[in-house]
Structure 1
């Protein structure tokens, strides 16, 4: 009872390991117009549409988290902009920017960003993350299986013109794009964008020829070329940022294996079909869709949030999975939300 009383105050949600949870990654769809090798199998089977949370259900759940101290919500997918009511959802959620939400964020592959950038800026969004793993058109097409680089670059340019700050997310794969890291950093900083380098994680969607590369190694290579200055910058996510003295731009490193960040984990993930995953690196989940559709009120939903936080694992299982050459979880990255 004491745990529930603490949770229902304006104070942040606290998990079983005394970590404050202030950040929710909310997936609105498992569908995508790309098939990135590290994120989604080529023949991915999507959830039936009636299994996905409705606009009203997404709003209800997100609003409940805001009422309990969550101050950042990131909309993810799949590709969130393939869902026709994603912008209406974000307009609804933007009301919380007046009442406790400090940021409403979006992660996108950029393919539909050009047509939506102005609307995103108008609803109060300040920045957007764009997944981009290569500046070579042929390599980009191979990684994404369906993508055209020019379309994504046009989307990034439109977002910049709309006044949105842009962060480039690059998943570094030793077999496919590690040789492009320097070029990607130079391009991003030249355009005025931050870039975040991400270690490939052992999800079920990983390509058979993918090669794990430690970001510690990548950082050492970058430090041979540039002066990397540690910063005090902190965002809602797990990135550790360095300022590149020569370019003036920032590089973030998300290194779940070589730089484990579990001790400071501040987030949970909710899938498009209403499953709350306390940890990206475990298959444990809690079904909010069933509870909502069976008549559960907000008190019942809050109780389930409390149960999920009590069972949030202390850390992921990625390191063991990498060493044993197996997926850490049985689901594709796109199912959880990127």
Structure 2
């Protein structure tokens, strides 16, 4: 089936060739992380030099452009975003974009530094958090992350105390932490914390992923069936398929491998050094750093910022987004991993 490629730069919205409109932007502000999760971080990471990171000024200009194109939700990711100085001020600066149509500002974090920053994030205007927690067993957690569990649990308590809404994300891997399914559900249900399990995806730093390591959605549900009455909830535009347990508590399962949600995907991603990715699994990003620099140079010189060159690059790239994971899964693996894209 052929798709028209004419006039993509004239679109007032960000739309791909399959009709999917982009409403969500994920921005990695750093590739650095104090954790070493095996599904994300390579054994020997080569960090981006700090002078090569996009400045918060450039990121704010980019966000302004994207919101004007219909982006409604911005998520700050990493690496670990709280490792970059100035991120709280950046969230505060993003508040100015609400007048242009921005509806939600979120962050994904490992919660290690959250005890220090939760209240500051709340005061800066952050709407909610996703917190990565892959095990409640302290020894297992240290094997998975090379860090202690206690600071993370303290960070979760700080988020609750500050009133910041949050979800827990748990990536499951066979033989690593698949024994945590029931303990995680019991803990999250007891504390009334939203929980999402995520299938292990081929985005690990050293490219050791195999399908045999995936704990599928069906396997997760099978472990829970003896303990709960499970009823599916109709899925809308969110990637997680929702299930109600005993009629009173919901969990989500993001099953990219066994039940891809690509047909409804409304997300795009920017790395900390200025590469735009139209898909989490895209083989090639679009380097927009030079165009952002041109726009930033206009600040203070022009009353109206000219986004034309940025527009000419971004819209055709987004238009040519692939159909989804299963359409590109057999292509040659790319070098960029989860710690640079932020999930």
Note whether the superposition's TM-score is higher than 0.5: yes
1:234 is displaced (CA, Å) by 4.5
Superposed CA deviations along residues 288-337 of structure 1, whole A, max 9, x for unmatched, are: 1122235684111122220211221111258845xxxx984322210112
Whether 2:208 is the aligned partner of 1:216: answer no
Within a 5 Å distance, the mapping from 1:154-169 to structure 2 comes to: 154-169=154-169
Q: Is the 8 A contact 2:203 2:209 kept in 1?
A: no
The residue aligned with 1:5 is 10
Q: Describe the shift of the 1:330–1:204 C-alpha distance in structure 2 as closer, same or farther (beyond 3 A).
A: farther
- Whole-Å separation in 2 of the counterparts to 1:287 and 1:319: 21
The residue aligned with 2:172 is 172
The residue aligned with 1:231 is 233
Superposed CA deviations along residues 119-175 of structure 1, whole A, max 9, x for unmatched, are: 111122232110000001111011002x11000000000000111112000001011
The residue aligned with 2:303 is none
Q: Describe the shift of the 1:318–1:42 C-alpha distance in structure 2 as closer, same or farther (beyond 3 A).
A: farther
Q: Is the 8 A contact 2:194 2:251 kept in 1?
A: yes
Whether 2:312 is the aligned partner of 1:309: answer no
- Whole-Å separation in 2 of the counterparts to 1:151 and 1:98: 36
Give the TM-score of the pair, scaled to structure 2: 0.89
Q: Is the 8 A contact 2:231 2:243 kept in 1?
A: yes
1:99 is displaced (CA, Å) by 3.4
- Whole-Å separation in 2 of the counterparts to 1:268 and 1:250: 27
Q: Describe the shift of the 1:86–1:97 C-alpha distance in structure 2 as closer, same or farther (beyond 3 A).
A: same
- Whole-Å separation in 1 of the counterparts to 2:135 and 2:204: 22
1:244 is displaced (CA, Å) by 1.5
Cα RMSD (Å): 2.1
Q: Describe the shift of the 1:316–1:208 C-alpha distance in structure 2 as closer, same or farther (beyond 3 A).
A: closer
Q: Is the 8 A contact 1:193 1:249 kept in 2?
A: no
- Whole-Å separation in 1 of the counterparts to 2:309 and 2:74: 22
Q: Describe the shift of the 1:104–1:318 C-alpha distance in structure 2 as closer, same or farther (beyond 3 A).
A: same
Q: Where do 5+ consecutive residues of structure 2 fail to align?
A: 1-5, 297-305
The farther-off stretch of 219-228 and 279-288 is 219-228
The residue aligned with 1:253 is 253
The residue aligned with 1:152 is 152
- Whole-Å separation in 2 of the counterparts to 1:38 and 1:327: 19
Moved over 6 A (4+): none
The residue aligned with 2:25 is 24
Secondary structure, in 3 states, of the residue corresponding to 1:20?
Answer: coil
- Whole-Å separation in 2 of the counterparts to 1:102 and 1:232: 24
Q: Describe the shift of the 1:327–1:2 C-alpha distance in structure 2 as closer, same or farther (beyond 3 A).
A: closer
- Whole-Å separation in 2 of the counterparts to 1:112 and 1:327: 36
1:49 is displaced (CA, Å) by 1.2
Secondary structure, in 3 states, of the residue corresponding to 2:322?
Answer: coil
- Whole-Å separation in 1 of the counterparts to 2:194 and 2:268: 24
Within a 5 Å distance, the mapping from 1:30-41 to structure 2 comes to: 30-41=31-42
Secondary structure, in 3 states, of the residue corresponding to 1:312?
Answer: coil
Q: Is the 8 A contact 2:89 2:124 kept in 1?
A: no
Q: Is the 8 A contact 2:91 2:125 kept in 1?
A: no
The residue aligned with 1:94 is 95
Q: Describe the shift of the 1:292–1:127 C-alpha distance in structure 2 as closer, same or farther (beyond 3 A).
A: closer
Q: Describe the shift of the 1:64–1:87 C-alpha distance in structure 2 as closer, same or farther (beyond 3 A).
A: same
- Whole-Å separation in 2 of the counterparts to 1:56 and 1:239: 33
Q: Is the 8 A contact 1:203 1:328 kept in 2?
A: no
Q: Is the 8 A contact 2:199 2:257 kept in 1?
A: yes
